[in-house]
């Protein structure tokens, strides 16, 4: 489907003659909105560009019964990467938190856009904050990280597994399968559903997964025309934050079988990062904060990992490396 047609302007140096640029996407309402965000940014710089969105059904979309935590990171990405590599797509738009730390050979992150709200949020049919939920309230999530942090901060609730797109999880959390749910703020904001939020959860306490709130645009490394277009919409501070968070995850082996979170934030020339790991029941957990120059995200992530190993989390790291099946 063509989202926007190019205007005739022979003086525009970015005019692309021939077929529209093919944008790969999952088919959910949120994914399509994210495509519009990326296309809007690109057209702001090069208004003559023409785009078509091709929706691709990923394994994570097709399998609605398996436990996400056992399916591994990349289940919402691989089919899009395959289409990029075979030339059927020019770019693919992803939620960065869904992406493996190592991309397929020949592909790169051409742009990371300025970050939307990185926090998790609580929605529930009672309209009360997390610490006021009554014993036995059913809170839905398919994320081991969210489940572990719920057990830490709201041990009175009952955690139930719910899957589906944002709209489906919202419906299920209104008494159908659950009384509430933990979701990403960014998805609700982009869908215009921020009015459904009961409570925003602190990103330094209820630590989000690496990359939450960030849109990433993947392209072929040898497509220099596309790389130049994407460079214009890349956000430097968000790139620093994403690099620190994903490098920390990579230090664990690129995936993790235990709940893990990492949140970096640039303030001026400094970057602060909070990391979190725990057992699935939340009983043994580790949280730490590090800070340093924002232009040294690799060093910051390495320092965070050193602290994790040396100050109480070495056994968690060992478990993580035994089974690389990370799921945010």
pLDDT of residue 5: 37
**Cα(21)–Cα(258) distance, rounded to whole angstroms?**
39
- The model carries a pTM of 0.88
Residues 15, 85 share a domain: yes
Q: How confident is the model at residue 262 (pLDDT cuts 50, 70, 90)?
A: very high
Assess whether pLDDT exceeds 80 at residue 318.
Answer: no
Asked whether residue 134 is assigned to any structural domain, the reply reads yes
For the chain, what is the mean pLDDT?
88
Contact call for residues 95 and 214 (beta carbons, < 8 A): yes
Asked whether residue 249 is assigned to any structural domain, the reply reads yes
Residues 250, 174 share a domain: no
Residues 221, 146 share a domain: no
Asked whether residue 208 is assigned to any structural domain, the reply reads no
What is the token pair recorded at 155? Answer: 């041990």
Asked whether residue 85 is assigned to any structural domain, the reply reads yes
User: What is the tens place of the pLDDT at every residue in 245-257?
Assistant: 999 999 887 555 5
Assess whether pLDDT exceeds 60 at residue 66.
Answer: no
Query: What is the phi/psi pair of residue 199, to 5°?
Result: -150, 135
User: What is the tens place of the pLDDT at every residue in 70-93?
Assistant: 545 666 788 999 999 999 999 999
Q: How confident is the model at residue 163 (pLDDT cuts 50, 70, 90)?
A: confident
**Cα(216)–Cα(226) distance, rounded to whole angstroms?**
14
Q: What is the domain-level CATH number for residue 269?
A: 3.30.160.40
What is the token pair recorded at 263? Answer: 């949140």
- For residue 228, the enclosing domain spans 2-113+214-234
Residues 93, 41 share a domain: yes
Q: Which of 35, 54, 63, 98 is catalytic?
A: 98
Residues 108, 6 share a domain: yes
Residues 144, 165 share a domain: yes
**What average pLDDT score do residues 56-64 get?**
65
User: What is the tens place of the pLDDT at every residue in 296-317?
Assistant: 999 999 999 999 988 877 777 7
Asked whether residue 327 is assigned to any structural domain, the reply reads no
Q: What is the domain-level CATH number for residue 186?
A: 3.40.190.10
Residues 103, 221 share a domain: yes
**Cα(112)–Cα(98) distance, rounded to whole angstroms?**
13
Contact call for residues 85 and 220 (beta carbons, < 8 A): yes
Residues 60, 147 share a domain: no
Question: Could you confirm whether 131 is annotated as catalytic?
Answer: no
Residues 124, 105 share a domain: no
Contact call for residues 69 and 185 (beta carbons, < 8 A): no
The total number of structural domains in the chain stands at 3
Asked whether residue 36 is assigned to any structural domain, the reply reads yes
Residues 124, 95 share a domain: no
**Cα(32)–Cα(93) distance, rounded to whole angstroms?**
9
Asked whether residue 312 is assigned to any structural domain, the reply reads yes
Residues 82, 125 share a domain: no
User: What is the tens place of the pLDDT at every residue in 216-236?
Assistant: 999 999 999 999 999 999 999
Running DSSP on this structure, what letter comes out for residue 90?
A: S
pLDDT of residue 313: 78
């Amino acid at each position: 489907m063509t989202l926007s047609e190019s205007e005739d302007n022979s003086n525009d140096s970015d005019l692309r003659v021939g077929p529209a640029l093919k944008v790969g996407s999952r088919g959910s309402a949120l994914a399509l909105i994210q495509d519009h965000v990326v296309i809007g940014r690109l057209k702001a710089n090069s208004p003559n560009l023409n785009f078509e969105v091709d929706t691709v059904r990923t394994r994570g979309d097709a399998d609605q019964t398996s436990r996400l935590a056992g399916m591994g990171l990349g289940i919402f990405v691989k089919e899009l990467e395959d289409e990029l590599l075979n030339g059927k797509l020019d770019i693919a738009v992803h939620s960065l938190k869904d992406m493996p730390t190592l991309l397929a050979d020949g592909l790169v992150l051409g742009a990371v856009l300025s970050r939307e709200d990185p926090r998790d949020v609580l929605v529930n049919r009672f309209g009360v904050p997390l610490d006021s939920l009554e014993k036995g309230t059913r809170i839905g999530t398919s994320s081991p990280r969210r489940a572990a942090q719920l057990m830490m901060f709201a041990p009175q609730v009952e955690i139930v597994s719910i899957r589906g797109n944002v709209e489906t999880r919202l419906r299920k959390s209104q008494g159908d399968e659950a009384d509430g749910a933990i979701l990403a703020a960014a998805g609700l904001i982009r869908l215009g559903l921020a009015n459904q939020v009961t409570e925003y959860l602190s990103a330094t306490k209820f630590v989000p997964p690496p990359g939450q709130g960030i849109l990433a645009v993947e392209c072929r490394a040898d497509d220099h025309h596309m790389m130049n277009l994407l460079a214009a919409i890349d956000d430097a501070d968000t790139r620093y934050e994403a690099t620190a968070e994903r490098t920390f995850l990579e230090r664990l082996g690129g995936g993790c079988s235990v709940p893990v979170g990492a949140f970096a934030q640039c303030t001026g020339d400094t970057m602060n990062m909070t990391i979190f790991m725990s057992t699935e029941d939340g009983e043994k957990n580790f949280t730490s904060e590090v800070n340093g120059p924002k232009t040294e995200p690799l060093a910051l992530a390495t320092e965070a990992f050193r602290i994790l190993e040396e100050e109480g989390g070495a056994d968690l790291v060992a478990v993580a490396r035994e089974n690389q099946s990370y799921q945010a």
